[in-house]
Chains A and B, each alone.
Chain A
Amino acid sequence: MEQHGLISKIGGLLRSGEISCTELTKKYLETAEQENGRLNAYVRLTPETALKTAAEVDRKLSAGEKLSPLAGIPMTLKDNISTSGIETTCCSKILQGYVPIYDATVWSILKQQDAVLIGKTNMDEFAMGSSCETSCFGGAKNPHNTERVAGGSSGGVASAVAGNLAAFGLGSDTGGSIRQPASFCGIVGFKPTYGAVSRYGLIAYASSFDQIGPITRSVADAALVYDAIAQYDPMDSTSSDKAAPAFSSLGKDIRGLKIGVPKEYYDGIRPDVKAALENALKVCQSLGAEIVEFSMPSIKYSLPVYYILACAEASSNLGRYDGIRYGTLTEHYADRDEMICRTRSEGFGAEVKRRILLGTYVLSAGYYDAFYKKAQNLRGTLVKAFEDAFSRCDVIAAPTVPMTAFPLNFTARDAVETYLTDICTVPVNIAGLPGISVPCGFGSDSMPVGLQLIGARFSEPALLNAAFQYEQAAGDDVFRALETGVAR
């Protein structure tokens, strides 16, 4: 498998001594500095942390110590993953200046494995958005075409990884925030089963949906990173010990694999996107997989269910930002109520406010039963619908997004229209399933299209293997559209 991923490739260069980790790190830091003006992928570079880790990796290499597969690999974290001593803002004005005093569990793990943090990456404010443009630092751009968005909300990670500003990154996926930008940027975005990766230290948007996962250049990379971070964490009560290693199961034959195609996922998607997906399914068939068509009518409830429940949780999770303990505080106020009110009015952007208000409304006395409770019930219906689907097939194949990357400022026009673009990604979060977006060609606008594969809970090894087999068979022309960062 060594040859199949960027991480393994870089690891090989480091181990063979072809390049030192310090050299490699400097190269990535330089690229990040040069390119960030164009891409706005990073909101903060961390050269000191990076070079310190790199020196340590070089020391260990020369001492002949055994290193983890992620040791020395230049990577990035979305700015909602807490990093002790490094400002973490969720790209919101309200958290500017906030420096966590503890590490997110995923970052502790990666730190321990000597991964090299290049910087913290751009995102939609509090992970709310589909274009990265709600960031208080301005949006990240798509490396394929800087007139287009990188996607959201983990747009910074996707832009950095696609643009060679990092070898891999961790994003968070609440309604598609890993898979959608990966699809827009032509790379791999993997959202694991809810509970497979600890959320401790991930600044919450919607707790029962949020999931940390890797954004990488290949499925093999995603599996490597997943294996590192999918650990049971006693600090997160919802974390599970059921995750099985995925990397070692890559390469298995997928002959006879039943790929489910629920027709609702394909309704109303752009014709060029549909064509790319149909091609991808043909590639899978050529590998011996079997296509199973069926219907999942309850998919149509996904968007309202998602926006009601996620916003309800968000309204509660974001109540703590009052400027009293950390982050920014308004300058002028007469009393406590005004202090909190003004801090929040000035600190939160329009999209965050919209979702807090929506969430507060649906939880309010008198509306709870009509909205929140009904959405909870429908969530159960959707979970059941997926269980039924997985009794008919092994994985589900769907578009990641019904279109390609939007032009800049496209989403500002209509919030609801933007919400509609999440239609294919949110069902996975509602049901807590693993889902991966793999590039599957280009649209008529020459922008990447993503194929989404969805598995049953904790079926990561089989799901990633299916994605890997497709990726290998599809070949370079649909997959690696951009050169990799280490041109050696």
Chain B
Amino acid sequence: MNYELVCGLETHVELATKTKIFCSCTTEFGGEPNTHCCPICIGLPGTLPKLNRAVVEYAVMAGLATNCEISPVSKMDRKNYVYPDLPKAYQISQYDMPLCRNGRVDLSNGRRIRLNRIHIEEDAGKLVHERGNTFVDYNRGGVPLIEIVTEPDLRSIAEVEEYVEKLQMILRYIGVSDCKMQEGSLRCDVNVSVRPAGQEAFGTRAEIKNMNSFAHMVKAIEYEYDRQVDLLMSGEEVVQETRRYDEESGCTEGMRGKEDADDYRYFREPDLVTIRITDEMRETLRAKMPEDPQKRLTRFGSDYGLPEADARLLIEHRRIADYFEAAAKGTKNPRAAANCILGQMFARLGSEAEKERFDVAVSPERLRELILLLDAGKIRMNLVKSTLEKMLDSGKPASDFLNEKDLAGLSADDLKAICEKAVAENEAAAADYRAGKGKALKAILGSVMKATRGRADPQEAERLLAELLKK
């Protein structure tokens, strides 16, 4: 029998606000333990939370970007549980009135992943185990999160991967999160169940907690799929439970059974007032949002004639896409601008973080000047490349590296004269070529390029040389 995978995701995303959700402590990553803390975020007796407006705005933007309905009225609730990293013994979250509902993310295969909700909540601190002792670091306590919950609409690992990638792209794009899995700013809980192909009813699900790497998430789902199929094939039942993924063994294992299921005793957070989002606030935020990345991707194809793969690379980081558009604006050759970015500029940016910052010495306006020279036929592509290298090294404009002669361009007569001279000066190579060694032409071409300081169009020069040598 064939079994179908059914997945639902709960994705926790850390918002990129400067301060925490209920106080003005910094959300900066790292720092000495317990240095990004105040009486409020460590829940000292008597302290009260104060909801950070920016958190609500970012969450609304995330909701708008995923086509959610924004609740005009929502509230915060307490989720009560005891763990040393949770200093108040409750997490302030949202339960029955989330900020955003009924959104969607569309996949490339045409399938629509429905989002049940997006709500806001605070992160907990973390436990540090050292020398047989356990310490608590509350720096992360109170860092704002959104939880994005899908319906069980994902049907394959490829879909899960595409969904998470897409979510990352969208959220990075609108600037609400950096979505770094390795720094824990994007974490997934995956609900996995299987059912015989064609069956409508869902199977019993297991929840795998806290996946913070793509590779592990894929392995965990694969393992869990196999485990559940094996159980069903051998006539056993899948038990509803929470499981964790063990990186060393590559297996998932049960954390707790049904008998001690959590009872979070949710109730309204009495220390915070109702959250109201007026139509006007919502529309102001919508107006502030950048273009939807999906739409932009399509537009990069139609407006600039970029291949989808290139467009995708440019779109991944909003700063780069904006840079590209500024550089390509009004040029005849936007692909050249894209190639400069994806080729030489990317070569200088090692990590994704560097790409995201996109801190290059050449402003988009200066790149645009360079591309306009190409448009005007004043310089050739190879000169674009060498000049850009110098610009990237020095931060100086193109004009510093191009003399008048360069900019004057090369007439057909000049090129012909140079080619004739090159043939005359490379007798041996010319003889070889005539004797049938096609490669010999390259040597002569090299001297043409050298003589023209790269201004010659190599294809045109090659054509001319071949013509001359036939004689």
| The stretch of A130-138, A311-319, A420-428 that contacts the partner chain | A311-319
A201: B residues at CB distance < 8 A:
46-47
- 27 pairs, CB–CB < 8 Å, chain A vs chain B: A82-B45, A95-B45, A100-B39, A104-B46, A202-B46, A204-B271, A235-B48, A236-B50, A237-B49, A237-B50, A237-B51, A237-B273, A238-B273, A312-B267, A313-B267, A319-B88, A320-B45, A320-B88, A320-B89, A322-B89, A324-B84, A336-B84, A340-B82, A363-B265, A364-B263, A365-B263, A368-B265
In the complex, which residues 170-229 of chain B have their Cβ closer than 8 Å to any Cβ of chain A? none
Given A207-B270, A316-B80, A200-B265 contact (CB < 8 Å): no
On chain B, the residues within 8 Å of A100 by CB distance are: 39, 44-46
Given A237-B272, A312-B267, A319-B82: A325 in contact with B42 (beta carbons within 8 A) = yes
Specify which chain A residues have a CB less than 8 angstroms from the CB of B134 in the assembled complex. Answer: 336
CB of B300, distance to nearest CB on chain A (Å): 44
| B136 CB-CB contact with A under 8 Å | yes
**Given contacts A234-B50, A322-B84, A324-B136, is CB(A101)–CB(B270) below 8 Å?**
no
- Cα distance, A316 to B80, chains bound together (Å): 7
B270, A313: Cβ atoms under 8 Å? yes
1/0 contact trace for B259-276 toward A, CB 8 Å? Answer: 000010111001111000
| B47 surroundings in chain A (CB, below 8 A) | 102, 200-201
Of residues 237 through 287 on chain B, the ones whose CB sits less than 8 Å from some CB of chain A are 263, 265-267, 270-273
Question: Is A199 in contact with chain B by the CB < 8 A criterion?
Answer: yes
**Nearest CB to that of A372 among chain B residues?**
B267
- One digit per residue, 1 when the CB lies within 8 angstroms of any chain B CB and 0 when it does not, for chain A 320-343 equals 101011100000000010001000
Q: Say whether B43 faces chain A, with CB atoms less than 8 Å apart.
A: yes
Contacts of B82 in A (CB 8 A): 319, 322, 340
Interface centre among B87, B136, B267 (most CB of A within 10 A): B267
> Is A316 a contact partner of B39 (Cβ separation < 8 A)?
no
Task: List A residues 224-274 near B (Cβ within 8 Å).
Answer: 234-238
| Residue A98 is within 8 A (CB to CB) of chain B in the complex | yes
Closest chain B CB from A104 CB (angstroms): 6
Q: Which residues of A contact B42 (CB under 8 A)?
A: 325
Given A201-B47, A203-B46, A237-B272, A316 and B89 contact (CB-CB distance below 8 Å): yes
Within 8 Å of chain B (Cβ to Cβ): is A208?
yes
- Is the C-beta of B90 less than 8 angstroms from some C-beta in chain A? yes
**In this assembly, does A154 line the interface, its C-beta being within 8 Å of a C-beta of chain B?**
no
Cross-interface CB contact of B48 among A98, A236, A312, A365, cutoff 8 Å:
A236
Beyond the given A100-B39, A363-B80, please list 6 additional residue pairs across the A-B interface where CB-CB is below 8 A: A80-B46, A203-B45, A236-B50, A237-B51, A316-B80, A320-B89
Contacts of A180 in B (CB 8 A): none
Nearest residue, chain B, Cβ from A327: B45
Name B271's closest neighbour in chain A (CB-CB).
A207
Chain A residues closer than 8 Å to B273, beta-carbon distance: 237-238
Q: Does B20 contact A (CB under 8 A)?
A: no
Check A122 for interface membership: any CB of B closer than 8 A.
no
Cβ-closest 5 pairs across A and B: A319-B89, A208-B270, A363-B265, A207-B270, A203-B45
**Which chain A residues border B263 with CB–CB below 8 Å?**
364-365
Flag if B265 contacts A316 (CB, 8 Å): yes
Contacts of B39 in A (CB 8 A): 100-102
Q: How far is the CB of A280 from chain B (nearest CB, A)?
A: 35
Q: A237-B51, A320-B89, A324-B84 are in contact. Are A101 and B44 (CB under 8 A)?
A: yes
User: Contacts A313-B270, A316-B78, A324-B136: A98 and B90 contacting too (C-beta < 8 A)?
Assistant: no
- Does A360 count as interface, using CB distance less than 8 angstroms? yes
User: Interface digits, B77-100 against A, CB 8 Å rule (1 contact, 0 not)?
Assistant: 010101010011110000000000
Closest-CB distance, A359 to chain B (whole angstroms): 9
Within 8 A of B (CB), among A353-408: 360, 363-365, 368, 372
Beyond A316-B89, A320-B43, A322-B82, whether A363 also contacts B267 by CB under 8 A is yes
Nearest chain A residue, comparing its CB with the CB of B51: A237
What 0/1 readout, one digit per residue, does chain B (20-51) give for beta carbons within 8 Å of chain A?
Answer: 00000000000000000001001111111111
User: Which positions in B face A, CB cutoff 8 Å?
Assistant: 39, 42-51, 78, 80, 82, 84, 87-90, 134, 136, 263, 265-267, 270-273
Binary flags per residue of A275-317, CB closer than 8 Å to B gives 1, else 0? 0000000000000000000000000000000000000110110
Q: How far is the CB of B261 from chain A (nearest CB, A)?
A: 9
Q: Answer whether A102 and B44 are a contact pair too, CB < 8 Å, given A319-B80, A322-B89, A363-B265.
A: yes
- A87-111 residues at the B interface, CB under 8 angstroms: 88, 90, 95, 98, 100-102, 104
Most chain B C-beta atoms within 10 Å of own C-beta, residue among A100, A320, A326, A365:
A320
Assuming the contacts A102-B39, A235-B50, A237-B50, asked whether A316 and B44 have C-beta atoms less than 8 A apart, the reply is no
> Across the interface, which residues of B come within 8 angstroms of A199, CB to CB?
48
Docked complex Cα distance between A206 and B80 (Å): 15
Q: How far is the CA of A236 from the CA of B47 in the complex (A)?
A: 9
Chain A stretch 23-39: residues in CB contact (< 8 A) with chain B = none
Contact yes or no, A360 B271, CB < 8 A: no
In Å, the complex CA distance between A372 and B89 comes to: 20
For A336, the chain B residues whose CB sits under 8 A away are: 84, 134
Q: Which B residues are CB-close (under 8 A) to A88?
A: 45-46
Q: Give the complex CA separation of A237 and B40 in angstroms.
A: 13
* CB neighbours of B84 from chain A (8 A): 322, 324, 336
Within the assembled complex, what's the spacing in Å between the Cα atoms of A22 and B78?
48
Who on chain B is nearest to A336 by CB? B84
- Chain B residues within 8 Å of A204, by CB: 45-46, 271
In angstroms, Cα B90 to Cα A32, docked, is 40
Contact of A98 among B45, B49, B89, B270 (CB under 8 A): B45
Best-surrounded residue of B78, B84, B265 (most CB of chain A within 10 A): B265
Q: Least Cβ distance of A117 to chain B in Å? A: 17
| CB closest chain-A residue, reference B264 | A365
Most central of B39, B48, B266 by chain A CB within 10 Å: B48
With A316-B78, A324-B136 known as contacts, the answer to whether A82 contacts B46 (CB < 8 A) is yes
CB distance from A80 to the nearest CB of B (A): 8
> Whole-angstrom distance between the alpha carbons of A176 and B42 in the complex?
30
A100-B252 Cα distance, complex, nearest whole Å: 44
Question: How far apart are the CA atoms of A81 and B47 in the complex, in Å?
Answer: 11
Complex: A326 Cα to B43 Cα, angstroms = 11
Bound-complex Cα distance A100 to B40 (A): 12
Tell me which residues across on chain B come within 8 A of A207, comparing CB atoms.
270-271
- Smallest distance from the beta carbon of A215 to chain B beta carbons, Å? 19
Given the complex of chains A and B, what is the CA–CA distance between A370 and B87 in angstroms?
A: 30
Name the residue in A95, A101, A201, A237 with the highest tally of chain B Cβ atoms < 10 Å from its Cβ: A237
- Residues of B near A206 (CB, < 8 A) are 270
Shortest CB–CB separation between residue A35 and chain B, in angstroms?
A: 29
Q: How far is the CA of A241 from the CA of B90 in the complex (A)?
A: 29
Q: Which residue of B lies closest to A344 (CB)?
A: B82
List of A residues within 8 angstroms of B270 by Cβ: 206-208, 238, 313
What residues of chain B lie closer than 8 Å to A368, measured between beta carbons? 265, 267
A180 to B45, CA, bound (A): 25
Docked complex Cα distance between A71 and B48 (Å): 28
| Chain B proximity of A185: nearest CB distance (Å) | 26
Q: How far is the CA of A234 from the CA of B40 in the complex (A)?
A: 13
Residues of B within 8 A of A315 (CB): 80, 265
In the bound assembly, the distance between CA atoms of A322 and B134 in angstroms comes to 15
Q: How far is the CA of A202 from the CA of B136 in the complex (A)?
A: 26
Chain A contacts for B267, CB-based, 8 A:
312-313, 316, 363, 368, 372
Residues on A with beta carbons closer than 8 Å to the beta carbon of B266:
363
* Whole-angstrom CA separation of A88 from B265 in the bound complex: 29
Interfacial chain B residues near A82, Cβ < 8 Å: 45-46
Task: Kindly name the residue among B43, B46, B49, B80 whose own CB sees the greatest number of chain A CB atoms within 10 A.
Answer: B46
A319 with B46: in contact, given A237-B272, A324-B84, A340-B82 (CB under 8 Å)? Answer: no
- List of B residues within 8 angstroms of A200 by Cβ: 46-48
Please, how many angstroms separate the alpha-carbon atoms of A354 and B46 in the complex?
A: 22
Q: Across the interface, do B89 and A237 meet the contact criterion of CB distance under 8 Å?
A: no
Query: Smallest distance from the beta carbon of B168 to chain A beta carbons, Å?
Result: 33
Chain B residues whose C-beta falls within 8 Å of the C-beta of A320 in the assembled complex: 43, 45, 87-89
Alpha-carbon distance between A103 and B8 when the two chains are bound, in angstroms: 46
